[in-house]
């Protein structure tokens, strides 16, 4: 099975087997003496050998003296997961079931509640509820902390264990206990599980001449879905589109190849993204193959603090190429690449193997993408409980290897003059946001205003 590179924020709905020198020390723990003598005698490896021997001793002591019998497989899997999750917030171990679940998710369909989650100080933190799922209908919000499932605390559970508990047969109920910033007492929410079929691309026309496409994640269907949506919008508008809004807000990321494909949909030539790995020969670069599907129409991209990873690749590429104007707030700042590596026993590990860089050479790790036109969602100060962005996560990678500030691209001079006058905050009397009413979406409305002020390219399809 080939490796698959992904850029999904955290370890949302994902989570092998033992390999390398550790296999030998574990085998010795079971009474098998497989550790190569020559390797053990190599003074260059003496410290590693000592630490692996310590691991084997602890393993045997737990097996022999823990208060209750423990499963060897569970001990090994916990040790593997601890080794990987201790590296950074996005590396982790997946047993066979978790690996299958991850593969289902990247195909765009899975069972459960419809929440993208990560782990935060022992609790489960909501990255974003997925549109039109039990979670979104129940009012679960980005930043909510899940404290308990069916009355049982999530502390002590791995992220994958917690996700397993949230999944279940369709039409079965589960109760979530949630801590929300600004609310004194925990919230109790009862949800009915469903088969979650993620509609990763949604679209409609605004005022009959502006296309709106929302991309909720980068799964295997994203690029084809976006192309299909644009063709439909063009047809509905009678082939007279003025421009396109690409909404990447609260999009946690997904597959790298899909991010490249979406970027390629709007860029005629040049780099889309590059990755730099530990070994220079493993670094890669992806270039546009040509063929802007819009024919040069003006594009505005909406981003916010929930836009991460693959979303940031697309936003950064379009910004660097001056192909789109970015409107909203600073993105999450996840600039690392995870490779899913299948392991013997049908499990896999997700390992951070590279950092990615925008076409101008920017690393957005911990920094995020700054919009060209800053527009807040609401006037009210948004409280945050726990980490807000990548840089706040324990063990987050440092931002290294990017272009120096002196080499950064110059400030944009191609923005419409009115962009300087776009209000950052909605007026006092702005209506409460209602997802079903686009006129309550302040960021979208300002994006539309910017888009209408942008000139249609001379090669635009009309």
- Give tens-digit pLDDT for 335-365: 999 999 999 888 999 999 999 999 999 999 9
Give me the phi and psi of 216, to 5 degrees please: -90, -25
| Domain map (residue ranges) of the chain | 17-84, 109-197, 201-337+353-453
Mean pLDDT, residues 177-199 taken together? 90
Three-class secondary structure of residue 216 per DSSP: coil
Please state which CATH class domain 109-197 belongs to: mainly beta
Find tokens 């782990």 and name the residue.
119
Of the residues 334, 336, 372, 441, which is catalytic? 334
Which phi-psi region, left, alpha or beta, contains residue 192 (left: φ > 0; alpha: ψ -120 to 50)? beta
What confidence tens digit (pLDDT) does each residue in 27-60 have? 333 333 334 444 444 555 788 899 999 999 999 9
d(CA 107, CA 219): 6
Residue 16: band (very low, low, confident or very high) from pLDDT cuts 50, 70, 90: very low
Which region among 58-72, 105-119, 272-286, 315-329 has the lowest average model confidence (pLDDT)?
Answer: 105-119
d(CA 321, CA 272): 9
d(CA 286, CA 284): 7
Of the residues 120, 320, 372, 441, which is catalytic? 320
Number of neighbours of residue 280 by Cβ within 10 angstroms:
7
* CB-neighbour burial class of residue 91 (10 A; exposed 0-12, middle 13-18, buried 19+): buried
Question: How many percent of the chain have pLDDT more than 70?
Answer: 85
pLDDT at position 120, please?
77
Whether residue 360 contacts residue 408, with contact meaning beta carbons closer than 8 Å, is answered with yes
Q: Which residues share a beta bridge with 254?
A: 218
Which region among 114-128, 161-175, 228-242 has the lowest average model confidence (pLDDT)?
Answer: 114-128
pTM above 0.85, yes or no: no
pLDDT at position 382, please?
62
d(CA 319, CA 326): 7
Q: How far, in Å, are 44, 122, 366, 392 from residue 119 at the CA level?
A: 37, 6, 18, 13
Mean pLDDT, residues 189-207 taken together? 90
Number of neighbours of residue 285 by Cβ within 10 angstroms:
12
> Is there a catalytic annotation at residue 219?
no
Give me the phi and psi of 96, to 5 degrees please: -60, -40
Most confident option among 20-24, 40-44, 125-129, 294-298? 294-298
d(CA 368, CA 417): 25
Q: Which residue has the higher pLDDT, 372 or 459?
A: 372
* CB-neighbour burial class of residue 51 (10 A; exposed 0-12, middle 13-18, buried 19+): exposed
* CB-neighbour burial class of residue 386 (10 A; exposed 0-12, middle 13-18, buried 19+): middle
Of the residues 203, 217, 309, 336, which is catalytic? 309
pLDDT at position 38, please?
46
pLDDT at position 164, please?
84
Q: What is the DSSP letter of 437?
A: B
d(CA 443, CA 426): 9
Whether residue 265 contacts residue 227, with contact meaning beta carbons closer than 8 Å, is answered with yes
What confidence tens digit (pLDDT) does each residue in 238-280 have? 978 999 999 999 999 989 999 999 999 999 999 999 999 999 9
Mean pLDDT, residues 411-435 taken together? 91
Please state which CATH class domain 201-337+353-453 belongs to: alpha beta
pLDDT at position 129, please?
86
> Is there a catalytic annotation at residue 439?
no
d(CA 446, CA 182): 28
Question: How many percent of the chain have pLDDT more than 90?
Answer: 60
Q: What is the DSSP letter of 208?
A: T
Indicate the average pLDDT of the chain.
85
d(CA 15, CA 452): 44
Mean pLDDT, residues 396-400 taken together? 85
The distance from CA 266 to its chain's CA centroid, rounded to whole angstroms, is 21
d(CA 315, CA 320): 9
pLDDT at position 28, please?
34
> Is there a catalytic annotation at residue 228?
no
Q: Which residue has the higher pLDDT, 20 or 161?
A: 161
């Amino acid at each position: 099975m080939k490796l698959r590179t992904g850029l999904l924020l955290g370890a949302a709905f994902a989570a092998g087997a033992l390999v390398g020198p550790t296999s030998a020390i574990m085998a010795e723990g079971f009474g098998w003496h497989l550790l190569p003598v020559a390797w053990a005698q190599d003074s260059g490896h003496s410290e590693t050998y000592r630490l692996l021997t310590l691991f084997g001793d602890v393993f045997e002591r737990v097996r022999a003296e823990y208060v209750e019998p423990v499963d060897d497989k569970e001990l090994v899997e916990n040790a593997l997961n601890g080794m990987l999750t201790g590296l950074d917030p996005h590396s982790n171990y997946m047993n066979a079931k978790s690996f299958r679940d991850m593969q289902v998710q990247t195909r765009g369909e899975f069972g459960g509640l419809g929440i993208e989650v990560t782990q935060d100080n022992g609790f489960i933190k909501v990255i974003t509820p997925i549109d039109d799922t039990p979670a979104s209908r129940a009012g679960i919000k980005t930043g909510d902390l899940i404290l308990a499932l069916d009355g049982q605390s999530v502390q002590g559970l791995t992220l994958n264990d917690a996700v397993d508990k949230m999944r279940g047969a369709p039409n079965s109920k589960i109760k979530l206990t949630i801590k929300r910033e600004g609310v004194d007492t925990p919230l109790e929410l009862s949800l009915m599980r469903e088969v979650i079929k993620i509609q990763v691309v949604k679209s409609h026309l605004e005022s009959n001449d502006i296309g709106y496409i929302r991309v909720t994640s980068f799964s295997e269907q994203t690029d084809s879905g976006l192309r299909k949506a644009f063709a439909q919008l063009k047809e509905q508008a009678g082939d007279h589109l003025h421009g396109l809004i690409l909404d990447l807000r609260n999009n946690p990321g997904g597959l790298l190849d899909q991010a490249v494909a979406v970027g390629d949909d709007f860029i005629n030539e040049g780099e889309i993204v590059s990755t730099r790995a530990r070994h220079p020969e493993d670094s890669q670069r992806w270039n546009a193959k040509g063929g802007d599907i819009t024919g040069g129409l003006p594009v505005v991209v909406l981003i916010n603090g929930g836009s991460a990873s693959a979303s940031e690749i697309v936003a950064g590429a379009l910004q660097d190429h001056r192909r789109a104007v970015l409107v909203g707030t600073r993105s999450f700042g996840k600039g690392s690449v995870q490779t899913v590596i299948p392991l013997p026993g049908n499990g896999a590990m997700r390992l951070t193997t590279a950092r990615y860089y925008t076409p101008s050479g920017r690393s957005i790790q911990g920094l995020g993408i700054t919009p060209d036109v800053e527009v807040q969602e609401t006037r009210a100060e948004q409280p945050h409980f726990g980490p807000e962005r990548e840089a706040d996560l324990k063990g987050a990678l440092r931002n290294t290897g990017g272009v120096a500030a002196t080499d950064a691209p110059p400030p944009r001079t191609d923005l419409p003059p009115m962009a300087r006058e776009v209000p950052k905050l909605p007026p006092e009397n702005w209506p409460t946001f209602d997802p079903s009413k686009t006129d309550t979406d302040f960021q979208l409305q300002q994006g539309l205003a910017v888009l209408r002020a942008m000139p249609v390219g001379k090669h635009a399809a009309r």
